[in-house]
Amino acid sequence: MIQIEGLQKKYGKIHALRGIDLTFDLEQVVALVGPNASGKTTLIKCLLGMVIPDGGKILFDGKNIEGDVLYKNRIGYMPQIGRYPDNMRIGYLFGMMKDLGKNRVKDHFDEELIDAFKLGAMFGKPMRALSGGTRQKVSAALAFMFSPEVIILDEPTAGLDPLASEILKQKIQKEKEAGKLILVTSHIMSEVEEIADSIAYIVEGEALFYKSIAEIKSESGEERLGKALFHLLGKRA
């Protein structure tokens, strides 16, 4: 579904991505894991065309995404920090996004998360009055709204209350079973273990390894993913 080949990105002197090669397919939940500032968010932003890469290419369904926008019809994105126009009310924001994406859905919008998070009761509130967690809920609901084939979630549960993050995890599971590709970044290993089936480990702009979680565990002989990763990385260093 998505092929990344030799992706490069420099911000001035900082070399954020140094030739990343990765392939993602449908019916997969891939966790992008790595230290802070390793290039995970830059990678995601390249996928979405928000950051223009300096080298390499990204193929979506076999087609280069450069200069294309239509492929974004098939992607839902939840940013790490959801930033929205301050004066806009939640209800208006959802209305606007539906209006802008009218042709993206066949019959109805997926409003499961809006209902599950009880956002309807807050439709009258302006975005600036929302807490960080509520913003995350809004971002999550927007990412799933158009039932896209690919869903990209950048640290989805950071700042969510336990109930809400459980709801979100169940939603991810459900969408995976429906045959979607889900890309998640996270620093919480227990959560990765719960939702993802493979891990792409990114360090300093390079993909160190890309393996299924079962493989990682059997290679290291550890039961817990956090320990297994520690073991695996320790061996390399």
Residues in contact with other proteins by the rule CB under 8 A: 11, 45, 48-52, 69-73, 77, 79, 83-88, 96-97, 99-101, 104
92: Cα within 13 Å, side-chain hemisphere? 10
**Nearest distance, CB of residue 225 and other proteins, angstroms:** 30
Shortest Å distance, C-beta 51 to other proteins: 5
Which CB sits closer to other proteins, 82 or 159? Answer: 82
Q: Which is nearer to other proteins, 6 or 85 (CB)?
A: 85
Q: Taking the complex as a whole, how short is the minimal distance between the CB of residue 73 and other proteins, in angstroms?
A: 5
Structure tokens at 236: 């390399």
How far CA 114 is from CA of 8, 13, 120, 122, 167, in Å, comes to 37, 42, 7, 10, 11
Give least dist CB 102 to other proteins, A. 9
Q: Least Å distance between CB 85 and other proteins?
A: 5
Of 3, 25, 5, the C-alpha closest to 149 is 25
Q: Which is nearer to other proteins, 60 or 201 (CB)?
A: 60
Question: Of the candidates 51, 52, 55, 50, which has an alpha carbon nearest to the alpha carbon of residue 8?
Answer: 55
79 vs 156 by CB, closer to other proteins: 79
72 versus 180: smaller Cβ distance to other proteins: 72
